[in-house]
Structure 1
Amino acid sequence: MLSSSLEQYLIHIYKLSEQGQEIKSSELSTELNMPLKKTIQALQRMHFQKYIVYLAYQPITITDKGKEMAKYLISRDELIDEFLDILQLTNNREEEREGMKQFLSYEALESVERFVCFVRQYPEIINRYRLYSKRKMRIKILEPLPEEE
């Protein structure tokens, strides 16, 4: 699997390739605000994993495997964002999003997807959830987080 930084590179390469743009490592480095050396290392890793074809002084091309992975990553990110919207999670949203991206299994993401699709089909559920979450809960499952010293 790809690290989160390699995921960013792959998604960016995919989007540029879909626009028909020629992709150069120096331009990619600039656009992602990363040092050229780190960008080249990332490209070499993705080339080794067969997500892209990277040759020095040649435009970068994305493989079919890379396209499939990029599509999955984009859809996963959109799913997580929609799920966090449903939960009305605003505090530490980016950290929560990154944690979910890194640690949820594909099976767990499929369950999240079923829930999100269910909520889409029955939008009144969101309204009921919002009313419910505004009230003081009488029944609790989660114990309070102990304070750190």
Structure 2
Amino acid sequence: MLSPSLEQYLIHIYELSEQNIEIKSSELTVAVNMPLKKTIQALQRMHFQKYIVYLAYQPITITDKGKEMARYLLSRNALIEEFLDILQITEHREEEKEAMKQYLSQESLEAIDHFVCFVKQYPEIIARYKVYSKRKMRTKILEPLSEEK
């Protein structure tokens, strides 16, 4: 798998390639807001892993393997967004998304995918969950954790 920063680069490269935009390392540096040296190192790593073709002073091209990985990453990100929407997670949402992207196993992601598809097929479940959540039920599995001040 790719590191979070390499994922970001690959997604940008994929999106630009889908728009038939010639991709240069200097423009990618601006898009991801990273120093040129780090961008070149990232491009070299992705080239070595066969996600892209990177040659100095040449446009960057994405391989079929890179396209497949980028589509997977985009779908994983969309799945996590939908899951957090269902759970009505708003506080620390970005941190939650990043943690989930990095630490959930493929098996867990597939189970979440299955659950999200199920809930979308039966939207009344979401409505019932919202009512349940508002009631602040006393029945819980997770023990409360005292907040330190």
- Regarding TM over 0.5, the answer is yes
Query: What is the SS of the residue equivalent to 1:45?
Result: helix
Uncovered stretches (5+) of structure 1, i.e. residues with no partner: none
> In structure 1, what is the equivalent of residue 98 of structure 2?
98
How many corresponding residue pairs?
149
- Cα offset for 1:145? 1.8
CA distance, structure 2, for counterparts of residue 113 and residue 136 of structure 1: 26
- Structure 1 partner of 2:107: 107
Residue 73 in 1 paired to residue 73 in 2? yes
Shift of 1:5: 0.5
Query: Displacement, 1:136?
Result: 2.3
Identity rate, percent = 79
Any runs of at least 4 consecutive aligned residues in structure 1 with deviations exceeding 6 A, and if so which? none
Deviation at 1:29, TM superposition (A): 0.3
Name the residue aligned to 1:134: 134
TM-score by length of 1: 0.97
SS of residue in 2 equivalent to 1:113? helix
Aligned partner of 1:40: which letter?
I
Match for residue 61 of structure 2?
61
Secondary structure in structure 2 of the residue aligned to 1:30: helix
Cα distance in 2 between the residues matched to 1:89 and 1:71: 25
Q: What amino acid is aligned across from residue 22 of structure 2 in structure 1?
A: E
Q: Which residue of 2 aligns with 1:44?
A: 44
- Mapped to 2, the partners of 1:15 and 1:30 lie a distance apart of 15
Partner Cα separation in structure 1 for residue 71 and residue 29 of structure 2: 22
Verify: 1:122 aligned to 2:122, yes or no: yes
Aligned AA (1:127): A
Q: Which TM-score applies when normalising by structure 2?
A: 0.97
Residues 20-62 of structure 1, C-alpha deviations (whole Å, 9 max, x = no match): 0100000000111111111001000100111000000000000
Please give the alpha-carbon distance, in whole angstroms, between the structure 2 residues aligned to 1:32 and 1:89: 26
Match of residue 17 from structure 2: 17
Report the secondary structure of 1:137's partner residue: coil
Instruction: Return the letter of the residue paired with 2:142.
Output: L
- Shift in Å at residue 12 of structure 1? 0.4
